Amino acid sequence: MSPRLVLVRHGETEWSRVGRHTGRTDVPLTPAGEDEARAIGTTLRDWIFAAVFASPLRRARETARLAGFAPTLDDDLVEWDYGAVEGRTNDAVTAQRPRWSKWFDTVPDGEQVADVAARADRFIDRTVDLPDDVLVFGHGHHLAILVARWLELAPVEGRRFPLATATVSILGHKRDDRVVHALNRPCGPPLPSR
């Protein structure tokens, strides 16, 4: 069987709870987010991974640690740099710039969707040929773009893969095609590894 990428979005933070753009601001997990991270450990306890990676931002690192994993930190997994919209909700941004979308419009003073996709592509290229499954702890929009790029879709198609906090998504293969085996699976009982 071909190796898979197992993606975990970090546990809840105060900013994710209220829908604020959380790119490079290093916000901590809430107590509920810490509980979610421990539940991820239960969900993934029967898996064997060739490698475990995490964004170096605290919310992803802490989710991995509380889940029982010691990841290699990878700068290519850092969340989208939201520049001038960092910390603001989408409603607050569109109140000033109606119909603005990070997916299609310029992110002032931040990264553009193609920049994030380039990082996702580099990560996929480095991990796709590892001998067994790879576990990744990261962030909602970056991981959504990673899903799109895994499926060989344009980066903006990441908008079609909203990932909730503390969920597990599994990318793999069916014959020669890259596919999604699971998306946004909530934590709970252990997931079978095969």
* Residue numbers in the chain where pLDDT is lower than 70: 1, 194
The reported pLDDT for the residue numbered 1 is 60
Give per-residue pLDDT as tens, 31-43.
999 999 999 999 9
Those residues whose C-beta lies under 8 Å from the C-beta of residue 101, and which sit 6 or more positions away, are 159
pTM: 0.96
Delineate the domains of the chain, giving CATH numbers in brackets: 5-186 (3.40.50.1240)
Q: Residue 79: what pLDDT?
A: 98
140: left (phi over 0), alpha (psi -120 to 50) or beta: alpha
What pLDDT, on the 0 to 100 scale, is given for residue 173?
93
Q: In this predicted structure, what is the pLDDT of residue 9?
A: 98
Q: State the catalytic residues.
A: 10, 79
| Beta carbons of 183 and 5 less than 8 angstroms apart | no
Q: How far apart are CA 72 and CA 52, in angstroms?
A: 6
